[in-house]
Amino acid sequence: MAFLWHQISSAVSLIVHGDPYLMGLLWVTVRLALVSTVSALIIGLPLGAALGLGRFRGRRLCQVLANASLALPPVVVGVVLLIFILPQGPLGSLRIEFTLRAMYVAQTILALPYVVALTAAAIQGLPPGVVEQARALGASRIQLGVLALREAKVGVMAAIIAAVTSTISEVGAVIIVGGNVQGQTESLASALLAEFTFTPNDPRETATALILLVLVLLLVGALTVLQQRTGQLRLRFREG
């Protein structure tokens, strides 16, 4: 018990005094989560809406692929991406290996399936009359997509929460493509793994874990509050 108390008190002291190493990890993690999640939303929300509303051939196959991609092994994604971005690879000219940009790409790829699959499922769960009434009122495809996303807000926010948590807590892919370079590409999760492996019983381990836990709780808590907010949708469509 004395050991546990010592670890926690030392960790809290490091956090309160703004340990530069810990603050650097926090900054990298926040940037990684923000950029990757926004990128996944920009790409994934339109795809999810199209999949949820679409009436095209092969839609069922696309749904299967979207759901299957939720089980993408992060390590495999990291290895494949690294092969592509190494100097001798197809995208080697970009020179992004072992940089934050490579980590952004990896985490976007891993967050994207959550956005697409969960958004599509949320839209498909809407009462049929909502979409059909909008079509009858002359809603354009863009208006129809916006309507569906807003009506399926609870499910869409669940997709966003899943994407955010994946970008914060995933380790395998970011270590492979980012190299886990201290002070540059080391995130809270990857640093925690390295610290536990090479420097056990270091108070920075506990401090890193506490910061990561609090960050996840704060972000998920804020997004959950937004998810549960209620409001009426008011859109007007031109007839014709």
55-70 pLDDT per residue, tens: 788 888 999 999 999 9
The pLDDT of residue 198: 58
- pLDDT (tens digit, 9 = 90+) per residue, 8-48? 888 899 999 999 999 999 999 999 999 999 999 999 999 99
Residues 73, 70: Cα–Cα separation, whole Å: 9
What residue segments make up the domains of the chain, in order of their start? 2-228
The pLDDT of residue 134: 80
- pLDDT (tens digit, 9 = 90+) per residue, 174-198? 999 999 998 899 999 999 888 766 5
Long-range contacts, stretch 74-80, CB < 8 angstroms, 24+ apart: 74/106, 74/110, 74/170, 74/171, 74/172, 74/173, 75/172, 75/173, 75/176, 77/106, 77/109, 77/110, 77/173, 78/106, 78/172, 78/173, 78/174, 78/175, 78/176, 78/177, 79/176
Q: Which residue has the higher pLDDT, 79 or 127?
A: 79
CATH architecture of the domain with range 2-228:
Orthogonal Bundle (1.10)
Structure tokens at 40: 């996944």
The pLDDT of residue 237: 46
Residues 170, 107: Cα–Cα separation, whole Å: 8
Least confident stretch, 28-42, 68-82, 105-119, 219-233: 219-233
